[in-house]
Amino acid sequence: MNYYSLNKKAPNTTFRHAVINGIAPDRGLYFPESITPLPAYFFEHIDQLSNTEIAFTAIKQFVGDDIPEKDLKAIIEDTLQFDFPLVEVEDNVYSLELFHGPTMAFKDVGARFMARCLQYFNKNNDEKVTVLVATSGDTGGAVASGFLGVKGVDVVILYPKGKVSDIQERQLTTLGQNITALEVDGVFDDCQDMVKSAFLDTDITNSRKLTSANSINVARWMPQLFYFLFAYKRLKKHGQKIAFSVPSGNFGNICAGILAHKLGMPADQFIASTNVNDVVPKFLETGNYEPVASKQTISNAMDVGNPSNFIRIQELYGNDTNALKEVFSSSSYTDDTTKDAMKSIYNKSGYTADPHGAVGYLGLKNYLKDHPETVGAFLETAHPVKFLDVVKETLDIDIAIPEQIQSVLNKKKEKISISDYSGLKRFLLS
């Protein structure tokens, strides 16, 4: 499978090179040249397939010949070493729990898949690759864990100072080995801009091979389509229309869901639920796409002012906003509304949602009001323990700390502070 740049000013390239380079030379995001729907019987009989079989069938065409089937199967098997429970919260409302991986947020799947692809591509190569990644919270931990100890790969993580939770910070600053954390005096968008600038800086790229592990990278972005298929496998038995509500920041996860739909997965609606960082809901309302500086919220992994994957969603609909609106909607919620939702879910169902999942729940409930015949899942993208302070304070409960988190709690944070792009450049050239 070949990939083209959405800026259309760079040559097309293979999956392998799209993964190794991360972003195209013209700064565009890579996009697959073709999307071939899977046969109808795949969806009819999906409940008889294992998660590994489903994932392999869905991703195979996007990898093409760059990884032999046997090796691709092994990569998927190794990536999907945990469960993806679908928990009934209310009638017609399910939580798709994506937090059972090593760092307890959904990004584990994309990070693990990408790390293993890179390791495969690097296997006969002594050239070191540096994975440079900006995080609004969970990416850093997932990438650090996914890439820890991978030979030939150095990982450099940029995160905004004081804007990630204590547990998130520990997950990315305590591993050591091939992982370095840079604490940036700024917001997430500053981190993301610095990463993009570094990719275009020949002083750096002449001395280091750089790649990204944000959802910009196709190997991080695409495997997220697995979740939607895993949920569909269990939702289809209801024989109802299906909606997915995805708490969205950079819109990579929901874009992968729409990709699953393009592969033929029956679904009626994809709801991008956001916090007050509402560029996309505003765009759908007004037709104007106006990126702004991100605002800090209690669902910090979604504090994104210029979602990098929205352009891929538009591409999936040939930039036809009316066609897009038939399956895609978006709504925005304040922190207060989110906390109220966390309380009401807990009081009604005894279910503990984290702030991101609660935003997803709100978007789904809003849609179901007008579509009572639909069954829906909101993606519970992180374990509530990752946002311990907010969850404890809002629900007035204690949460048992799972083992994955316990193991980082007492480790010492190691980080390097930088305040601007020159700081990043100095570090990468040193």
Ligand X SMILES: *Cc1c(COP(=O)(O)O)cnc(C)c1O
Which residues would be at the binding site for ligand X (CB under 6 A)?
105, 107, 137-138, 215, 247-253, 301-302, 356, 381-382
Q: In angstroms, what is the minimal distance from the CB of 29 to ligand X?
A: 13
Is the Cβ of residue 122 or residue 277 nearer to ligand X in the bound state? Answer: 277
Q: In angstroms, what is the minimal distance from the CB of 106 to ligand X?
A: 6
Is the Cβ of residue 223 or residue 249 nearer to ligand X in the bound state? Answer: 249
Residues shown for the chain? 430
Specify the DSSP class assigned to residue 268.
Answer: S
C-alpha distances (whole Å) from 165 to each of 41, 63, 239, 418 are 44, 35, 40, 19
Q: For residue 315, give the amino acid letter.
A: E
Q: In angstroms, what is the minimal distance from the CB of 123 to ligand X?
A: 29
CB atoms within 10 A of CB 410: 8
Is the Cβ of residue 42 or residue 188 nearer to ligand X in the bound state? Answer: 188
Q: What's the helix, strand, coil split of the chain in %, to 5?
A: 50, 15, 35
Cβ atoms of 336 and 358 within 8 Å: the answer is no
Q: In angstroms, what is the minimal distance from the CB of 138 to ligand X?
A: 3
Is the Cβ of residue 97 or residue 154 nearer to ligand X in the bound state? Answer: 97
Is the Cβ of residue 252 or residue 363 nearer to ligand X in the bound state? Answer: 252
Q: In angstroms, what is the minimal distance from the CB of 373 to ligand X?
A: 27
For residue 426, give the 3-state DSSP assignment: helix
H-only helix segments in 175-251: 188-199, 202-205, 218-221, 225-235
Q: Output the DSSP codes for 182-198.
A: EEESS-HHHHHHHHHHH
Which two three-digit tokens encode residue 177?
Answer: 């080995």
Catalytic residues, by residue number, are 107
Q: For residue 324, give the amino acid letter.
A: L
